[in-house]
Amino acid sequence: MWQLWGIFSIIITVGLYVDIVLAKTQYTQANRRPHAHMVIAWISLAVFFGLLVYFALGYESALKFFTGYVLELSLSVDNMFVFMTIFSYFHIVNEAQQKALTYGMVGAMAMRMVFVFTGITLLNKFKWLIHAFGIMLIVSAIRMFKSEKQQSCTSNLLTKIKAFLKIKHAEDDLAFFTKCGSKWYATPLLACVITIEIVDIIFAVDSVPAVLSITKTPILVYSSNVFAIIGLRSLYICLTQLINKFYLLQYGIAINLVFVGTNMIFSEVYHIPTIINTIAIISIFLVTITMSCLIMKQRP
């Protein structure tokens, strides 16, 4: 187990360093090819790590890792809708969006670690909490079906943050602070990063219980979360033009949350085999994406 933690740490550290260095040098919004390469690289690394889990912990653990990864990845893609709203609200330029997503990604990794280990500790100590987590996921799914309510909550958060911070636009779009006279002010980019970090905490409330429905092994829970998060910046750039075309994505994710939430609530009555979990979650995700693409082709 500790060897897996070590390999995971090396993969994430080296990969994140390379990703950030490339982001500062050759990445541009106009050229999506480097971003596509990084998306493929991160997915390949996740598959490689899943194979390591298979050889170290067995078939069942590897299946749980991949199931958690697909579930978390679908949730991460859905979060892009919120990021688009945040960037539009604060008028963040393309290059600054990448910087904001990088900070958000690193912050999310740290917060997920706290949520993962806290959630596992609580579940081991208070078994009944698994039912509470299940109900929480179903409630979140219902809110996803009511997309207008979600947008209203996001708008309220943005308004409150803008009112709390003294914001002034800077000449440098990548600056977090700007000086006007003798006073320092926050830039829209800083407000954007703070908003993303707060939103990441809200996302974690759904994300961590969802993967805990699949496994409570710390390395599997945390690694599936991180591999889904860490390529999000490159994935966002690649899908910027297409994300609004995934009309049914949030409904597919909501159905998945209902599925795993129900599984948690009735886990003591009947435990659904991992392979059934995997097939159901992946199938719902793929059907949703396929139907969205079909609708997109039919529309002018």
Instruction: For residue 234, give its domain range.
Output: 2-298
Structure-block tokens of residue 151: 């947008």
pLDDT of residue 49: 93
pLDDT of residue 51: 94
pLDDT of residue 154: 58
Q: What residues pair up with 183 in beta bridges, in sequence order?
A: 180
pLDDT digits (tens, 9 = 90+) for 175-203: 788 877 777 878 888 888 888 888 788 77
pLDDT of residue 47: 93
Maximum Cα–Cα distance across the chain:
67
Structure-block tokens of residue 84: 């688009």
Report which of 106, 98, 91 is spatially closest to residue 34, judged by C-alpha positions.
98
pLDDT of residue 31: 61
pLDDT of residue 30: 54
Could you report how far apart the first and last alpha carbons of the chain are, in Å?
53
> How far is residue 144's CA from residue 128's CA, in Å, rounded to a whole number?
25
pLDDT of residue 149: 46
pLDDT digits (tens, 9 = 90+) for 257-280: 888 778 778 766 776 777 877 788
- The total number of structural domains in the chain stands at 1
Give per-10-residue mean pLDDT for the chain (300 aa).
Answer: 88 83 61 76 91 91 90 76 78 80 84 84 79 78 65 63 73 76 81 84 76 85 88 75 65 79 75 76 81 69
pLDDT of residue 214: 82
pLDDT of residue 54: 93
